[in-house]
Amino acid sequence: MIESWRWYGGFDRISLAEIAQTGATSIVTALHEIPYGQVWPQQTIADTRKQIAAAGFDWTVVESLPVHEAIKRGDGDLGELFANYRQSMAHLAAEGIRVICYNFMPLLDWTRTDLASPVARGGTCLRFSIPKMAAFDVYMVRRPGAEDDYTGDDLAAAKRWYDAASPADLEQLTGAIMAGLPGAYARYDADGLREALDSFAGLDRAALRQNHKRFLEEVIPTAEELGLKLAVHPDDPPRNLLGLPRIVSDADDIDWILSAVDSPANGLTLCAGSLGANPKNDVPAIAERFAGKIHFAHLRNVSKDPDGSFEEAAHLTGDTDMPALVAVLLREERRRRDEGRDDAEIVFRPDHGHELLDDAARAAHPGYPLIGRLRGLAELRGVIAGLRLGMI
């Protein structure tokens, strides 16, 4: 398995020189400064690749080449947006990049309600609280019909939290929910988010699925021609959010997407944390089922609460059996090597570490601290080494 590290380029408080000390050999990044829907210039890609190479890394995976919201909504004439996406793919392929991670989550990317929830033995983690999400949805965004998406207990807990919240608490909650948007992407306040949600009115699960299928039909043939692989990232969290459907949340969803356009280029980013936040998901079993289509892996862990809330756990102590999951990936690598493939090794990265020691002072991108992820990488490295000694 290839150890990689997510780097946010000019937006990152962690330098490539510091990342080199983690032992990771590959960088996962994107051109976060380019607005959604615009072509990624080949020269900019080349300059980024050279910067990464000069620091001693390979740029192995793009995360992400964003899908414009108009494509997710299925708005009007999308020809130019699809053409731009295909052109960006061609520029990436020309610079030797072979895997593109993307997601199809409407409007918001990964979403949390707390960016610094205390951890029992010190440090902080990302957390998703159902009561706080309900409070945001019902009392701050004031989305019509929001109450119907929560249980009575959820709403009661949301009301208690909201009534006790200070203006600073409300501002902090909004900031946390917006934090998952990458790079320079515009953030919303509660009123602005309500207006943005209006543009998705009427978009249901079936429509979003068809829009995803159309996207795949438009770009997968180009991926095949270029020797690229696309890898869809699961929903985070794996549940409908703010009334918007999410369609990459469990094994049935993944099966539908991978079957919608049957191609080796249509694959999966196996995100253990995103899938692990859904109580119905057996993450190692999902990895086993779709192993042949896993083009990239995010290895992290979560601990779930009965109400559907969850928080980021240490990489080896959450609800997912991480050694069992890694064993699946190592067996798949062995199968690919036996086939004589030159792309047998799976690129993975430690994801969403705890903020530990002086991580907080650095103020890195939420969920992406230096020391916390280094701990996760070290733990994963140990699991991989142990399994390779014959335990798989």
Q: Quick one: average pLDDT of 159-166? A: 98
119 plus 90 within the same structural domain: no
359 plus 281 within the same structural domain: yes
pLDDT at residue 2, as a whole number: 98
Between 186 and 321, name the one with better pLDDT.
321
191 plus 211 within the same structural domain: no
Residues composing the chain: 392
Inform me whether the pLDDT recorded for 391 exceeds 70: no
57 plus 84 within the same structural domain: yes
Determine whether 101 is an active site residue: no
374 plus 292 within the same structural domain: yes
AA letter at 135: A
Inform me whether the pLDDT recorded for 390 exceeds 90: no
Catalytically annotated residue among 150, 162, 188, 368: 368
User: Of 98, 173, 78, which is closest to residue 132 (Cα–Cα)?
Assistant: 173
Q: Quick one: average pLDDT of 28-53? A: 96
Catalytically annotated residue among 68, 91, 212, 233: 233
Inform me whether the pLDDT recorded for 159 exceeds 80: yes
pLDDT at residue 188, as a whole number: 80
Give the ranges where the chain is alpha helix by DSSP (H): 16-20, 42-54, 69-73, 79-94, 130-135, 152-164, 167-178, 190-198, 205-226, 251-260, 272-276, 283-289, 322-338, 359-362, 370-386
Q: Quick one: average pLDDT of 323-337? A: 97
119 plus 182 within the same structural domain: yes
Catalytically annotated residue among 91, 315, 352, 354: 352
Inform me whether the pLDDT recorded for 392 exceeds 90: no
Chosen domain end from 198, 227, 260: 198
pLDDT in tens, 211-226: 999 999 999 999 999 9
Determine whether 169 is an active site residue: no
Chosen domain end from 198, 225, 254: 198
268 plus 380 within the same structural domain: yes
Inform me whether the pLDDT recorded for 183 exceeds 60: no
Determine whether 295 is an active site residue: no
Catalytically annotated residue among 271, 315, 354, 359: 271
Domains identified in the chain, total number: 2
Q: What percent of the chain has pLDDT over 70?
A: 98
Catalytically annotated residue among 68, 91, 212, 298: 298
78 plus 210 within the same structural domain: yes
> In whole angstroms, how far apart are CA 107 and each of 97, 114, 138, 215?
27, 19, 18, 16
Q: Are 3 and 348 in contact (CB under 8 A)?
A: yes
237 plus 178 within the same structural domain: no
pLDDT in tens, 129-151: 999 999 999 999 999 999 999 99
Its domain, for residue 187, covers: 114-198
Chosen domain end from 164, 198, 232: 198
243 plus 325 within the same structural domain: yes
pLDDT at residue 185, as a whole number: 59
Helix (H) or strand (E) holding 306: none
Q: Quick one: average pLDDT of 347-371? A: 95
Determine whether 262 is an active site residue: no
Identify the DSSP state of 327: H
Catalytically annotated residue among 235, 253, 351, 359: 351
pLDDT at residue 184, as a whole number: 46
Q: Are 258 and 217 in contact (CB under 8 A)?
A: no
**What are the residues whose beta carbons fall under 8 Å from the beta carbon of 363, sequence distance 6 or more?**
13
**What is the CATH classification number for the domain harbouring 326?**
3.20.20.150
Q: Quick one: average pLDDT of 309-321? A: 97
Tokens of 246: 């999410």
248 plus 170 within the same structural domain: no
Q: How confident is the model at residue 180 (pLDDT cuts 50, 70, 90)?
A: confident
341 plus 306 within the same structural domain: yes
Determine whether 212 is an active site residue: no
Determine whether 315 is an active site residue: no
